[in-house]
Amino acid sequence: METAIRENLNHPGELEKLYRSDKKSFEKSFFAIYPDIADLPIADIWKARLAYNDPNNAKWKVDRKEIFYLIVSCLLAALFMKIPLWFGFDPETYAFYMRNTGIIVFLGLSTYAFFTKSRLNLLNLIITLLVYVLAALYVNLLPTAKGSDSVILAYIHLPLFLWCLYGVVFINFDLKERSKRIDYLKYNGDLAILTLLILIGGGVLTAVTIGLFSAIDLNIEKFYMENIAIVGLVASPIVATYIIRNFPAITDKLAPIIARIFSPLVLVTLLIYLIFMIVIGKDPYNDRDFLLIFNLMLLGVMAIVVFSVTGTSTHEKQRFNEWILFMLSLLTLVVDLVALSAIIYRVGEFGFTPNRTAVLGSNLLIFVHLVLITIDLFKVVRKGKKMKIVEQTIVKYLPLYTAWTLLVTFLFPVIFGWK
């Protein structure tokens, strides 16, 4: 939406169409880019128009209809999470939560997204529900994951595929408009931060509540964890989404601030880590557990690079942050090369397995993506290009990740004979 607004600042009619298509998203995106366009007369007009109904800080008023949608979406997710308690089976034996938590969380988010759309497209709703039903049937009909790496990989990658599906719902099935994909990535950065804050607060509340009741000799731990904590866990991203939608003044600044603070810290930490890895002589080629940690670190740093780019691209040029991101992408590229070489070595020594194939494929995807991002960041820091080109490179690549999650989730168990 932000990109669409920028591109149509000289076309009042198109701006009006954008506003009517999704008023909340338009308002949030407009105020996010307002500092960059404040010198334009049309920006002042739209600012006055959007703020007119909010002269006394009315944006903090609660929309009862949306609160209702929030409660219904959270209750739906909570009800599905309590299925094992209703039917009296052990969720650990059946691996219920490993199989279904991702489906339940994204179903709750998708439900809230459909509730809050200005116009409901029935075909989109049917397609989304059908995918969720098929995904639930598939993952619950899979054989037990005990001793089967390919099935465990399916458990892990199905939520990643559903993240892609939820992205399609979020952008209202408009796959051609890349600016909406950027909005989705920005939303995910805000969502991760807010959800973490909510979970930290919930964790503190849980500890205090259980502690207080223990002090009066009442053991409520089991009841609390089964009926309150587990509900709060799946509801937290939906609540965070409500905050992002309705209080943009709070959330719009979170991701850029976090990016500015943590990107330099991650760069320094990663550099020191690699130096000590060499000094100590840690070997990812023969140490399987260390290679796993190494790859998890790679995924984390890659996520930080992506969200930092999308979090800073709409603001004024910041040479320091641009250089930090460029150096961080270069260092991450080095990490990925080490991980790739270690995986290729292990495949050559021990052959293909579901885990090695999955890690090899994901690292190759990330490596190519990182190369493209690094090239664009070089253009930004050395040739004065705008960060938007990096954003475009990021979103163009997203369908490949979707295809990979589909392959691992649905074909790996068959290809490797459920091993």
Query: What DSSP assignment string belongs to 202-229?
Result: HHHHHHHHHHHHHHTT---HHHHIIIII
Residues 312 and 292 in one domain: yes
CB 257 within 8 A of CB 301: no
Last residue of a domain, one of 60, 92, 110: 60
Residues 105 and 223 in one domain: yes
Beta strands in 129-281 (DSSP E): none
pTM greater than 0.95: no
DSSP letter (8 states) at residue 144: P
Domain count, the chain: 3
Other C-beta atoms closer than 10 Å to the C-beta of 298 total: 22
Residues 343 and 245 in one domain: no
Greatest mean pLDDT among 89-93, 132-136, 259-263, 357-361 lies in 132-136
Instruction: Name the one residue in this structure whose structure tokens are 């009862």.
Output: 64
117 CB-near residues (< 8 Å, 6+ apart): 22, 172
Q: Nearest to residue 173, comparing CAs of 245, 123, 101?
A: 123
Q: Work out the average pLDDT over 246-252.
A: 71
3-state secondary structure of 28: helix
Residues 243 and 179 in one domain: yes
State the pLDDT at residue 109.
Answer: 95
CB 291 within 8 A of CB 355: no
State the pLDDT at residue 14.
Answer: 82
DSSP string spanning 299-330? HHHHHHHHHHHHHHTTSPP-HHHHHHHHHHHH
Q: Is the pLDDT of residue 145 over 90?
A: no
Q: Work out the average pLDDT over 233-258.
A: 80
State the pLDDT at residue 288.
Answer: 72
Q: Is the pLDDT of residue 110 over 70?
A: yes
Mean pLDDT of the chain: 83
Last residue of a domain, one of 60, 82, 98: 60
Extract the tokens encoding 265.
């810290």
Q: Work out the average pLDDT over 88-106.
A: 86
Band (pLDDT 50/70/90 cuts) for residue 57 is very low
Band (pLDDT 50/70/90 cuts) for residue 229 is confident
State the pLDDT at residue 372.
Answer: 92
Band (pLDDT 50/70/90 cuts) for residue 35 is low
Q: Work out the average pLDDT over 301-313.
A: 75
* Identity of residue 81: M
Residues 297 and 395 in one domain: yes
Crossing angle for the helix pair 388-406 and 354-383, to the nearest 10 degrees: 170
Residues 8 and 112 in one domain: no
Q: Among 18-27, 31-40, 96-105, 285-294, name the one with the lowest average pLDDT.
A: 31-40
Look at 377 and 418; give whichever has higher pLDDT: 377
Residues 189 and 290 in one domain: no
CA atoms lying within 13 Å on the CB side of residue 306? 28
Percent of the chain with pLDDT over 70: 92
Residues 169 and 190 in one domain: yes
Last residue of a domain, one of 60, 84, 105: 60
Q: Work out the average pLDDT over 300-311.
A: 79
Q: Give the separation between CA 72 and CA 63, rounded to whole angstroms.
A: 14
Residues 148 and 222 in one domain: yes
Question: What is the span of the domain harbouring residue 208?
Answer: 64-249
State the pLDDT at residue 55.
Answer: 42
Q: Work out the average pLDDT over 269-287.
A: 80
Residues 225 and 282 in one domain: no
What tens digit of pLDDT does each residue of 6-22 get?
Answer: 788 888 888 888 887 77
Q: Return the exposure string of 351-386: e unless at least 16 CB atoms fall within 10 Å of the residue's CB, then b.
A: eeebbbbbbbebbeebbebbeebbebbeebeeeeee
Q: Work out the average pLDDT over 307-329.
A: 74
Q: Work out the average pLDDT over 391-399.
A: 88
Residues 71 and 140 in one domain: yes
Residues 366 and 272 in one domain: yes
